[in-house]
Chains A and B, each alone.
Chain A
């Protein structure tokens, strides 16, 4: 029973990670591509981690909580890197399918960037 549950979780995780990578390959411009790997993968990695937690807890060596930390660090780092990538792309005026808002040019005078 446990094995069926674990296999299902791992398959779901692999599926969503795959869809995330597919988005990276298929989507049109830099900004939309950013959505694939940062997003669809959160659920993918999430279910892989739940599977790992269940498996190691069922081994009988006590409950495993390391996966919670992985989730925590992932949730802290993923949005920050996505934001910086996106900000850098706006700064370099990477071609976009959407209209870029005009005020972006003020980034050059950002007092915090010094």
Chain B
């Protein structure tokens, strides 16, 4: 019963927060409306969320988000430099990354992070969800890139969403 009334407890405050940002106000009525939406939307979209979301280490998640923001900033400058230097000197490559993540949310967050950090786009996920193919704009050492991606982004996501 509890599962049916609150299928995704994490989503409720998140949706309420997004509603408040959308309304751009902190009036009590808006907060109530936001909470109502945050309660109702997960119930109506239950079928689209096959797994229950559990966040195990919020601090690790926060640190991960800050790390990603920092990486976006630095790597943006890097890609801008690569583009300006000219396409002739680029060595693009496809890199295969083996996945330790098992949950769908974890994998999609990992793939999204890879696409957001400049210089890499996640291109293809194998049907068995065990390998992710990443396209790199300028890859000198494919194995080192795969190792970096795993250490920098996959390890914290594993801790947050799949601690066992």
Q: Is the CB of B112 within 8 A of A97?
A: no
B22 at interface, CB cutoff 8 A:
yes
Q: Is the CB of B127 within 8 A of A110?
A: yes
Tell whether A40 pairs with B83 under 8 Å between CB atoms, given A69-B18, A79-B111. Answer: yes
Distance in Å from the Cβ of B64 to the closest Cβ of chain A? Answer: 14
Tell whether A87 pairs with B76 under 8 Å between CB atoms, given A19-B83, A64-B24. Answer: no
Tell whether A90 pairs with B24 under 8 Å between CB atoms, given A78-B115, A79-B116, A101-B96. Answer: no
0/1 string, B58-90, CB within 8 A of A gives 1 = 000000000000001101110110011011001
Tell whether A80 pairs with B112 under 8 Å between CB atoms, given A40-B83, A98-B135, A101-B94. Answer: yes
Number of A-B residue pairs, CB cutoff 8 Å, is: 129
Q: Tell me whether chain A's interface is mostly helix, strand or loop, or mixed.
A: helix
Tell whether A26 pairs with B87 under 8 Å between CB atoms, given A42-B72, A43-B76, A65-B21. Answer: yes
Q: Is the CB of A79 within 8 A of B92?
A: no
Q: Is the CB of B22 within 8 A of A79?
A: no
Q: Which 7 A-B residue pairs are closest in the complex by CB-CB distance?
A: A79-B115, A39-B118, A43-B76, A86-B123, A23-B83, A79-B112, A110-B127
